[in-house]
Structure 1
Amino acid sequence: MTRQVIAGVDESRESRAAAVWAACEASRREVPPRLLHVRAWCTPVSSGASESASRRPVALRVLRAAEQYVRAACPGVRVASEQAEGPGSRALLSAAEEAAVLVLGFRGLSALTGFVLGSVARAVVARASCPVVLVRVGRAPDDRWRYDARRAGVPRAGGRDVVLGLDLNDPCDEVIDFAFDAARLRNTGVRVVSAWRAPSVLSLGPGEVGLIDGPQWSEERRGFQSAVLCTWRDKYPTVAVTGDIVEGRASPPLVRAAAEACLLVVGRRTREEPYVGTRTGPVTHAVSRHARCPVAVVPHS
C-alpha cells in the first residue's frame, strides 16, 4: 500500500498552510494528498448520536474550504479528504499509522515568545509512528515552498537547503535518510549541524575511541560527522552536503540555520511505554517553538 501525505485540517490559517505544504510534498512523492478533519478536535465528543450528526455538515464545510484553498495554491493537484470523530490526538495518531508523513499547522506568536504548539499537536509529535511536519503561518519563508505549476507540477524549494540536526552520539539512519530524501525531492542540498560540548578533562572521542582533550574535540567530531555521512553521500549522489560542527547546545544553531532553510529535520526517540504523554526532547521542543521554517520530527528507535 502506498503511504499518503496526510494533513490535519480545521478552520485555522495554520491548518491551511499545513494543507498546502502537504499537497506540495505529495506532488513530489507522486501520491495524492489527504486532508483529515477530526470532528470536535478541540471539544469533548458527546455520546449523543444527534449531536454527532449535527457536526458532520460543519466538518464537511471545513474540508471543502481546505480543498479549495489547496487547489487555488496548487492547480491540478487531486485532493482526497475524510473526516473522523473522537479525540483529536487519537484520530491523528491512527492516521499516522498509514501515512508517509503527517502534517500539522501551529500558531505563530512574536519573535520573543516563539510559536505555540497545541496540546493535540504536542501529543501527536510525541507519539506518532511516522514523521510529523509542523508548519506555521509566517512571513516570506512560507512562500519558498509554494507550488510552482510552471515546473511540471514540481513544488519549488526556493534554493534553500534542508537542515539536518545530527546527534553524533546517536546518529540514526531513519532521521538521516528522511533529510537526504527530502533534499533529493526538492533538488537541493543538505546542511548537517552537529553540536558538541567541550570537555573540561580528557574524555572519550566520538565512537568512544581514544582519549582526547578539548582542543582536539572539534576536529574529531568533524571527522566523525564526515564518516557518518559517507554512506549517505553514496546513496544520494545528487545531493550536495555541507557540515557544521558547533560548540554548545544544539537548538540555538539549528534555529539560526532554519532561518535560511526550506525544512529542518530532527529526530525523536520512540518509547515502549503505552502512554508517553506529550513529552519530547529539549531540542525538538526548542526548534518547534522557534524555527522559522517547517520542522520535520522523525521517530527512531
Structure 2
Amino acid sequence: MNDLIAVGLDGSAESVAAAHWAAREALLRGVPLHLVHAEEWSSPRAVPVPTADVRRPWSQALLTEAAEALRTAHPQLDVGIRSIDGRPAAVLAHVAANAGMIVLGSRGLGTLMGFVLGSVGMAVIQATVRPVVVVRASEDAVPHPVSRHASRDLVVGIDTSKPCDALLTFAFEEAARRACALHVLHSWSPPPLVGYGGAYEPRIHAQLEMSAKAALDDVLGPWRVKYPAVAVTSRASAGHAATELVDRSSEAGLMVVGRRIRQSPIGAHIGPVAHAVLHHAKGPVAVIAHA
C-alpha cells in the first residue's frame, strides 16, 4: 500500500498547492495520487449539523474538480479521490500509514511571523512515521511541468552525532529521482568556553570547524559511493541549525529535516529544529521520522 502519494484536500489555496506539488512528485515516482478530504461536522446545540446527504455532494464536488484539474495538467497521472467523515488529523494520520508519502498545505502569515502549519498538520507529523511534506500556497499551485518541479536543488540538515540513515536515504533518493544536487548541512555548537580568552583564538575555531567538516564527510562517504550520480556539497558551520536551514530554504526545491521517533511525557513531538523550519522555511519541507 506504500506505492502511492496521498494529499489532504480541504479546498483552501494551501491544499490546492499541496495537490499540485504531490501530483508532480507522484509522476516522478511513477505512483498513483490519492486526494483525501476529511471533515468532522459539529456545531453549537442550537444549530443543526448538515446531514450526510448535504455534505457528501459538496465533498465529492471538491475532490472531483481538483482531480479533473490535475488530470488536465498531467494526463498520464493516476488520480484517486476519497471523502472520509472524521477528525481530519486522525483520518489523515491513518491515510499516511498506508501511503509512501502524505502532502499537506501550510498557511503563510508573512515574512515576520513565517508560516503556520496548524494543529492538523502538526498532529499528522507526530502520529505517522511516513514522510510528510508541507507545501506553501505559492507558485507550487501552478500546473507547471514536472521538469521544473525537479530543477531546484535539495537541502538536508543532519546531526552527525546521531544515526540519520533514514533521513539521508530519503534525501539521496529524492535528489537522484530529480537529477538535482544535494546540499548537506551540519551545524555545530562551539564548546562553552569558546568566546573567552585563548579559546576564542581563530586557530582553535578553525580546528573545531575542520573537525566538524571531517565528521560530516565521514558520514557522507558511503552515500557518495552508493549514489555516484548525485552531486553532493557539504557544509559544517558553527551556529543554530534551524537558522542555517531557514536561510537556505528560499533557494531549495525541497528542504529535508528529521524528526526523532520518541515520546515525551506530554506525547510525541517533532523537535525544535524541525518545528522552526516548518514554521519559517520559504518552500516545501519534508519531515522524515527516524530513530
Q: Could you state the TM-score of these two structures normalised by the residue count of structure 1?
A: 0.86
Residue aligning to 1:66:
66
Letter in 2 for 1:123: A
Letter in 1 for 2:251: E
Deviations 1:97-146 (A, max 9, x none): 1111100011111111101111111111122120100001125xx37x95
Deviations 1:170-206 (A, max 9, x none): 141001110111111111010001101111359xxxx
Within a 5 Å distance, the mapping from 1:15-164 to structure 2 comes to: 15-40=15-40, 43-44=41-42, 51-138=51-138, 142=140, 147-148=144-145, 154-157=146-149, 159-164=151-156
Size of the aligned set, in residue pairs, is 280
Contact kept, 8 Å, 1:33 with 1:78, in 2: the verdict is yes
Identity %: 40
1:228 matched to 2:219: yes
1:177 matched to 2:169: yes
1:219 matched to 2:223: no
Contact kept, 8 Å, 2:33 with 2:78, in 1: the verdict is yes
CA distance in 2, matches of 1:10, 1:52: 17
CA distance in 1, matches of 2:69, 2:217: 43
Contact kept, 8 Å, 1:39 with 1:56, in 2: the verdict is no
Contact kept, 8 Å, 2:150 with 2:178, in 1: the verdict is no
- Return closer, same or farther for 1:89/1:220 CA change in 2, 3 Å cut-off: same
Residue aligning to 2:281:
291
CA distance in 1, matches of 2:267, 2:65: 34
CA RMSD of the aligned region, Å? Answer: 2.5
Contact kept, 8 Å, 2:157 with 2:256, in 1: the verdict is yes
Alpha-carbon offset, residue 29 of structure 1: 0.8
Alpha-carbon offset, residue 256 of structure 1: 1.4
Contact kept, 8 Å, 1:255 with 1:287, in 2: the verdict is yes
Deviations 1:248-294 (A, max 9, x none): 110111011111110000000112579826x3211111111111110
Contact kept, 8 Å, 2:256 with 2:288, in 1: the verdict is yes
Q: Name the SS of the counterpart of 1:120 in structure 2.
A: helix
Unmatched 5+ stretches in structure 2: 195-203
Letter in 1 for 2:245: L
Residue aligning to 1:209:
none
CA distance in 2, matches of 1:122, 1:77: 28
- Return closer, same or farther for 1:133/1:200 CA change in 2, 3 Å cut-off: same
Contact kept, 8 Å, 1:7 with 1:18, in 2: the verdict is yes
Q: Name the SS of the counterpart of 2:253 in structure 1.
A: strand
Q: Name the SS of the counterpart of 2:155 in structure 1.
A: strand
Residue number among 185, 193, 196 corresponding to 2:188 in the alignment: 196
> In terms of mean alpha carbon deviation, does 73-82 or 174-183 score higher?
73-82
Q: Name the SS of the counterpart of 1:259 in structure 2.
A: helix
Alpha-carbon offset, residue 162 of structure 1: 0.5
CA distance in 1, matches of 2:97, 2:23: 19
Alpha-carbon offset, residue 215 of structure 1: 4.0
Contact kept, 8 Å, 1:20 with 1:74, in 2: the verdict is no
Q: Could you state the TM-score of these two structures normalised by the residue count of structure 2?
A: 0.88
Q: Name the SS of the counterpart of 1:112 in structure 2.
A: coil
Residue aligning to 1:151:
none
